[in-house]
Structure formats: structure tokens, C-alpha cells
Structure 1
């Protein structure tokens, strides 16, 4: 039995498949040796004037900004809305209030993919750029700056990406509070950090299991039948084999380092 200090982590789950996302984070975070309790949330304003799906209510709690003080760390997940401008996301005000509260309470923050874009935009004013094609697949990475978050990883480490937008790394590099820790070998963002203010921006879906990229491809292929203009790309450098995980070491290393950092 693990008698270590209980680490409380909150997750705002904005992913398309709520159950799969929950299972991914559960297996990823609870795989560490730490004693972890995870609470999932949904933004109430996302369901303004509509019925909250039963699955959402079953898997997560209504976000209450007044009940965050006990969390050691908080994650805002990715979301399949990176083609939208931030002001087109009708629950973005609630997310901004959440980010402000996390900073006020000095809680360690991990923002993933769209969550990272949204936080960088709200906190520092950076805009995202829509890519000509989806950045999709498994890629090697360069380490640009030291960070305890990637301690144990070496140049060439593998990680999955799945997004339609990108931040301008040249602008971010010039901002004194932020540090670009690593990027892909073709210059896409992997990890940005503001260590002083406990803000981590991860652009890779390291929480994914091996078949999640394939499931995402199938889902978009299906939806493209209704949208004839949609251009669907296959994930690159990707082996769809659920018996192995191409980014297993990167995944374990990063999340174990993050858990150590917030304890």
C-alpha cells in the first residue's frame, strides 16, 4: 500500500472522446509510484442552452472556481477546436477565469495541445497560426534547453502530435519569462515552460495510447464525408500496433517528472 502524500490533480477534459481521454490520463498519471487522486471537470458554459450529455455528467464534475485550492496540479486538455479563433469558442471566458484562478492560487498548471495554445494566448497574448495541413503523427525531437521535465530524455525522443494550428516559436523565444524546452526536428513546438509561475505548455498528446492517432484519423475520415472540402491526412511515422507504444519512454519520463515537480 502506498502511504505517501496524496497528490490531488484536477483535469478539465475537453477532448472529443471523454471516456477514452479519462482512461488515458488515469493510466498515465496513476502509473507513477505516487499516490494520486484525479478529479475531472467540464465547463458549464459549454452546455449553455443545451442538455449536458449523460456521459459528461457521469465522468466529470461541473467546474467550480471556488473549489480549486486543494489541488496540487491542474491540467487543461486538448480540444478539437484549434481551427476556431479563441473568441469563437463560446466557453473561452470560463477557461480564462480558470487560468486566472490557478495562477492566483499558485497551482502547478499543465496545458496540453489546444489547452497550451489557449493559455499562451490568454496569459501572454500570443496568437496561433492555422497550418496548411494537419500536423499529425509521431516525430523525433531536439532538446533546446535544460528542464527537469525532460530529465532522462535524449535528442531524438519520440512523441505524437495531432493539431491544425501552431504557435510562433520565434515570438515566444523572445519573451523573457518563457523557455522553449524542446521542439520537433522540423521546428514544431513540443514543450514551453514558465518555471517561475508553474506554467507548462505541452503540445504533444503524450497521454495518448498507441491506437489513438488511428482512431482520430478514422473519426475525421468519417466526418469528412459530410464535409467534402475537408482534407484528411494520415498520421506520419506511425505504427498502428496496440501491442507496443512508440512513445512509451517519453510518456513515462515526462509525466513522472511532472508528478515529482508538483509534490
Structure 2
């Protein structure tokens, strides 16, 4: 949240030069305040787990956020009780007349399939097109980021020789120059769990996109358009402490090829409790998105979108 200060306070220039978010009193007094409306398009099969992870981060802010949940009508989830979907979720047909301050498109376990072969691809494209006029800022996560980059900008994804699996150090491309990473340490950690990637050279060919953060091991992490209306994140900052463990144990039990997740277990020993390295960065990432790209930018009257 910004610091509201008197107009012409001498400290203002120093604070602004240090990239501290300030707001002059005349703007603070004139602000209209209302709850933020955020739409969560949950593409994960375990919807209750994913919605809990994301709500935990969205709720760690002084901002009041109202969340609507959506799933795709063209695919029936198998791992979420039907009564949960009926009670809490809506389909695109029921929400497409609304406007939202923000939207989150989650990952999905379909990354090894061509986009066009995903059962709900056409519906997802319709939703992403709709978001251009009905959502102020959309946050795409993991496969959702790959799908968004492909749909909006034609950026392809590539198969990896082995699964990108673990918790990896990342750095910001231009420190102190992007609001999404205000307050971040020089090195921050993010979990990844994916079989595919997007590549820097493809993104750099498009002048409408900016790479904001990356990892020497995990590659491109955050990509955004010029005004933050579309943000693409290839990792899983929302993961719980034991999410990677659950995935690892599942694959081991099914005798699938899987490496021990990097930088996760002390001494690389799966018998020991994992160490959480990403929690503070995850909370700051979502708080910054809500504050700088949603709350500070969305018109008070959402019909003006």
C-alpha cells in the first residue's frame, strides 16, 4: 500500500528516487475505494487445493478482495466433487457479461499436449479474448502462462529433456524498475514443476513484451506487456510447503521417471522435511500485483474497462 504524505514534503523526492510508493494527500483524499473483484479460472484438477493456495496469497493484503470461481464447461473435472462445483463455481456463460479488476488463470496438467489438442482450448481462447475488454490485469500461471503467451503473442512452448522440478533461485532483470518486484531481494526462490518451457529468444522478438525476471536454471520466469494488463509467470509461487513432495511421492509410487526436487529437501534427502524458501516472495508477488496493477490502475467504475 502507498504512504500518503503531504503535498510538497521534502522527503518525497528521496522516497520516489528509492522507488518507495508514495501518494500525495490530494490524490489520497479524492480516491474512491471499493472491494476488488477478481476472477479465478481454475484449470487444475484438484481445484480445492489450488483455490486454497491462491486465496491464501490474495488474502494476505489490506485490500478487500471479492473472488469469483470459474471452470471450463467443455471439460468436466474428475478430482473435484460435483457439489463443490455447483455450489462455488460458475461457467463462462454466466460471467461473461461482468467486468473484473483482476483475473488469474492457473496452470493445468496438459502441458505435454499441443495447445489445440486440449479439450477446452477453444473455450480458453474465448475467455482470453474476452479478458481484453472485461478484465484490467490478468495473471497467468505456469501452463496458463504458456497458453496466454501462445494465444496473445504466438510464443511457442518447447519440451524439456527432463522435468523442471524443484525450487530455483531467480533474479530481477532490471531491479527497482518494475512495480511487480518492489521490495524483493536480489535473489528470490520459486518452485517449478513442468515438462515444457518458453524461450527468451522468442519473447525478445516481440517488442510488446518485457522479461521481468529469470533463473539461470529454470529460464524465463516473468513476462509482461507494456502496461501490466497481461502478466505471465512460469513458476508456482502459490505452492504449499508439501506440494512438490506430493508430486514426487506420487511419481515414485507410479514408478515414473522423476528426479528429487532441487533445493527442496535438506541434504537432498527425501526422508527429511522440506525447507520453504519461497513463501515471503510469493506473498510479496501477489500483494504487489493486487496493489500496483489492480487496485491502483483499475477504474472505479468497472464499466469503463
| TM-score, structure 1 as length reference | 0.89
CA shift at 1:116, angstroms? 0.3
Say which of 143, 147, 153 aligns to 2:178.
Answer: 147
Say which of 227, 232, 254 aligns to 1:196.
Answer: 227
Give the stretch that moved more between structures: 209-218 or 117-126. 209-218
Distance 1:157 1:169 in 2: 19
Distance 1:164 1:210 in 2: 21
Q: Aligned pair 1:262/2:288, yes or no?
A: no
Q: Aligned pair 1:135/2:164, yes or no?
A: yes
CA shift at 1:87, angstroms? 1.1
Does the C-alpha gap of structure 1 residues 220 and 18 become closer, same or farther in structure 2, counting only changes over 3 Å? farther
Distance 1:238 1:72 in 2: 35
Which residue number corresponds to residue 232 of structure 1?
Answer: 258
Which residue number corresponds to residue 121 of structure 1?
Answer: 150
Deviation digits for residues 135-190 of structure 1 (CA, Å, limit 9, x no counterpart): 01111112113310011113211111111100021110221000000101225121
Give the stretch that moved more between structures: 138-147 or 119-128. 138-147
| TM-score, structure 2 as length reference | 0.77
Does the C-alpha gap of structure 1 residues 187 and 30 become closer, same or farther in structure 2, counting only changes over 3 Å? closer
Say which of 69, 72, 87 aligns to 2:98.
Answer: 69
Distance 2:149 2:114 in 1: 14
Does the C-alpha gap of structure 1 residues 216 and 171 become closer, same or farther in structure 2, counting only changes over 3 Å? same
Contact 1:103 1:197 in 2 (8 A): no
C-alpha RMSD over aligned residues: 2.3
CA shift at 1:78, angstroms? 0.5
Does the C-alpha gap of structure 1 residues 158 and 68 become closer, same or farther in structure 2, counting only changes over 3 Å? farther
CA shift at 1:196, angstroms? 2.7
Contact 1:159 1:206 in 2 (8 A): yes
Runs of 5+ in structure 2 lacking a partner? 1-31, 266-271, 296-305
Say which of 66, 83, 105 aligns to 2:134.
Answer: 105
Distance 2:43 2:95 in 1: 20
Contact 2:45 2:108 in 1 (8 A): yes
Which residue number corresponds to residue 110 of structure 2?
Answer: 81
Distance 2:170 2:94 in 1: 36
Runs of 5+ in structure 1 lacking a partner? none
